[in-house]
């Protein structure tokens, strides 16, 4: 009781101080706080986990002992979420003000430790807004300015890093009449000379997303990828159509062999920015403007290290060559919708459609085998529409699992409407249209035009001669474009009668191509193609309206 009164009133308690403390305890009890009174003292009767301060302290201590930056960042993020405002914000006595200052310093220290962990993970750009707010709130806190400078520099923004230093120097001079610390000045000089700023010792980039929760089928492909990496292949290319499960397979393989590459796991989704991303992840320094200088520096940084790089959505071999590791101790896994055979030393693993049995198993895991077996014809039709494409199957499985009152037949009926097919093949954050759009944007303009022509025609299978008549192109040019679309995994080539070739387009790609034709092709072009469409169709049927 005495300590509470002193804390609340300092050295000048009021006559009613004791009664006010007792009333306060009573109010806390009314709100469900269990308080025990014993010998004139009060004790909160609860576990330590129920007290915010102890929960924060426990999590920060665990973070201090954590080695992987990802674990450290997660623990500190949880610790900081405990805070819901200033510590002891409504209490203004000397005792509580001193305690509040101490707790605020602990919060800032935890925040800066989380920033360090995020920087070690390569999250330079993402952490900048938080650091900007921090230096505004604490304009004289050198450690926060130092981290902001580092984040700017590693994100490829050296000018803003130098500006942050200038602002700190001005603040310190005007408010305290001093210069920045020696550590901050050294960082400033390294940025000024565009020198590398190494990752702190013990910080190893671990950027792989979480492991896929399941991989159905693809056992042969997975074995081949793993075998290639285990026998020293520098590059493995996983090639397949949009939605074929390239990312899932690449990540599963990467996680399986991760222990072979203890010096880092990099994950990059923008191939045009791959080289700067690799350099910043490895040493966080300045990125040369000239590509050949950046490649040479990357090879220097990788020498003597075992690092694995996963590079997503590659569209050409030219995007890969600048980041090919020279060291046989490193590996590069790439995913692409087009053939990467020009890379002669790459092991290319091409993903075909899932076999019917694997597609059925994938659906049954989410929906239940009994539900599928009760409607075999409707199930077969749904699987045929999905065409063995894992993304389409995942969407259908998620939709049916979320709608247990739907019959398989009801979904099958909705999938028969080709104009609404892509609207049906979406659920929550799974969108087949998004995946197809991404592949469409990588095509050259002439290939986009031809794909739209095929979509407007509306036949799932067509010959080069028929496409030539519809598009008004020479046969040789038509064949060149069709082969390019086949290499991009948008068409399948089949042998036709008399040794000719037929080009098959799945219902999903056909629906997407038709959407693009109606949205992007000029109306006059579509109208002009109508006579050619009728002439090209074997049955003379009109084009779909």
Q: Is the pTM here over 0.85, yes or no?
A: no
CA angle 509, 407, 429 (to 5 degrees): 50
b (16+ CB within 10 A) / e for 162-188: bebbeebbebbeeeeeeebeeebeebb
How far is Cα 489 from Cα 509, in angstroms, rounded to an integer? 10
Residue-level pLDDT, tens digit, the chain, 545 residues: 565 655 555 565 666 666 666 666 666 666 556 666 666 665 665 555 556 777 788 888 777 765 567 777 888 888 888 877 676 656 566 666 676 777 788 888 888 888 888 887 777 788 899 899 989 989 998 989 999 998 888 888 889 999 999 999 999 999 989 999 988 998 899 888 887 776 554 467 888 888 887 788 888 999 999 999 888 888 999 999 888 899 999 999 999 998 888 888 999 999 988 998 888 887 655 566 666 788 888 888 888 788 999 999 998 888 898 999 988 889 999 999 888 877 878 899 999 888 999 999 989 988 889 999 999 999 999 999 998 899 999 999 999 989 999 999 999 999 998 888 999 999 988 899 998 998 898 899 999 999 998 988 888 888 898 899 888 889 999 999 999 999 888 898 888 777 778 999 888 999 999 999 988 877 756 665 555 555 555 443 433 43
CA dihedral 539, 540, 544, 545 (to 10 degrees): -150
CA distance 168 to 192: 16
Residue 43 backbone dihedrals phi, psi, to 5 degrees: -135, 130
> Three-class SS of residue 345?
coil
Neighbours of 378 (CB within 10 A): 18
Task: Yes or no: say if 247 and 390 are a contact pair by the CB < 8 Å rule.
Answer: no
Question: Are 168 and 294 in contact, with CB atoms under 8 Å apart?
Answer: no
Radius of gyration of the chain (CA): 31
């Amino acid at each position: 009781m005495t300590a509470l009164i002193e804390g609340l009133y300092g050295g000048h308690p009021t006559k009613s101080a004791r009664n006010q403390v007792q009333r306060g305890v009573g109010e806390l009890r009314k709100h469900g706080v269990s308080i025990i009174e014993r010998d004139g003292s009060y004790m909160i009767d609860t576990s330590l986990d129920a007290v915010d301060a102890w929960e924060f302290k426990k999590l920060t201590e665990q973070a201090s002992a954590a080695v992987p930056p990802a674990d450290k960042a997660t623990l500190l993020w949880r610790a900081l979420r405990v805070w819901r405002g200033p510590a002891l914000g409504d209490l203004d006595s000397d005792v509580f003000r001193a305690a509040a200052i101490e707790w605020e310093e602990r919060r800032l220290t935890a925040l800066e430790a989380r920033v360090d962990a995020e920087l070690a993970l390569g999250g330079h750009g993402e952490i900048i807004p938080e650091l900007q707010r921090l230096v505004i709130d604490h304009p004289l806190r050198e450690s926060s300015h130092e981290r902001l400078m580092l984040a700017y520099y590693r994100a490829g923004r050296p000018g803003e890093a130098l500006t942050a230093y200038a602002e700190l120097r001005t603040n310190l001079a005007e408010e305290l009449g001093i210069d920045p610390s020696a550590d901050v000045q050294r960082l400033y000089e390294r940025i000024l000379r565009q020198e590398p700023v190494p990752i702190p010792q013990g910080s190893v980039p671990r950027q792989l997303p979480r492991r896929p929760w399941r991989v159905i089928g693809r056992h042969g492909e997975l074995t081949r990828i793993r075998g290639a990496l285990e026998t020293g292949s520098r590059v493995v290319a996983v090639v397949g159509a949009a939605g074929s499960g390239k990312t899932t397979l690449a990540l599963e393989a990467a996680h399986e062999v991760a222990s072979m590459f203890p010096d880092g796991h990099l994950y990059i989704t923008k191939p045009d920015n791959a080289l700067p991303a690799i350099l910043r992840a490895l040493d966080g320094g300045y990125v040369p403007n000239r590509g050949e200088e950046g490649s040479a520096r990357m090879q220097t940084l990788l020498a003597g290290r075992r690092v694995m790089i996963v590079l997503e959505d590659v569209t050409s071999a030219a995007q890969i060559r600048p980041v090919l590791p020279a060291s046989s101790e490193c590996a590069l896994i790439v995913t692409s919708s087009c053939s990467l055979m020009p890379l002669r030393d790459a092991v290319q693993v091409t993903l075909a459609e899932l076999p019917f049995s694997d597609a059925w198993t994938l659906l049954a895991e989410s929906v239940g085998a009994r539900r599928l077996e009760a409607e075999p014809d409707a199930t077969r039709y749904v699987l045929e529409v999905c065409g063995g494409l894992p993304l389409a199957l995942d969407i259908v499985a998620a939709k049916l699992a979320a709608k247990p009152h739907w019959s398989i037949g009801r979904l099958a009926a909705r999938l028969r409407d080709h104009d609404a097919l892509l609207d049906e093949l979406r659920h929550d954050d799974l969108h087949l249209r998004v995946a197809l759009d991404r592949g469409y944007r990588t095509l050259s303009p002439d290939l986009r035009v031809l794909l739209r022509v095929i979509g407007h025609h509306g036949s799932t299978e067509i010959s080069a001669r028929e496409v030539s008549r519809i598009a008004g192109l020479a046969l040789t040019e038509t064949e060149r474009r069709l082969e390019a679309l086949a290499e991009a995994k948008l068409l399948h080539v089949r042998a036709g009668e008399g040794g000719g070739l037929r080009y098959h387009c799945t219902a999903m790609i056909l629906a997407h191509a038709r959407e693009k034709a109606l949205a992007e092709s000029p109306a006059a072009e579509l109208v002009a193609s109508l006579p050619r469409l009728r002439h090209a169709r074997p049955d003379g049927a009109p084009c779909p309206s």
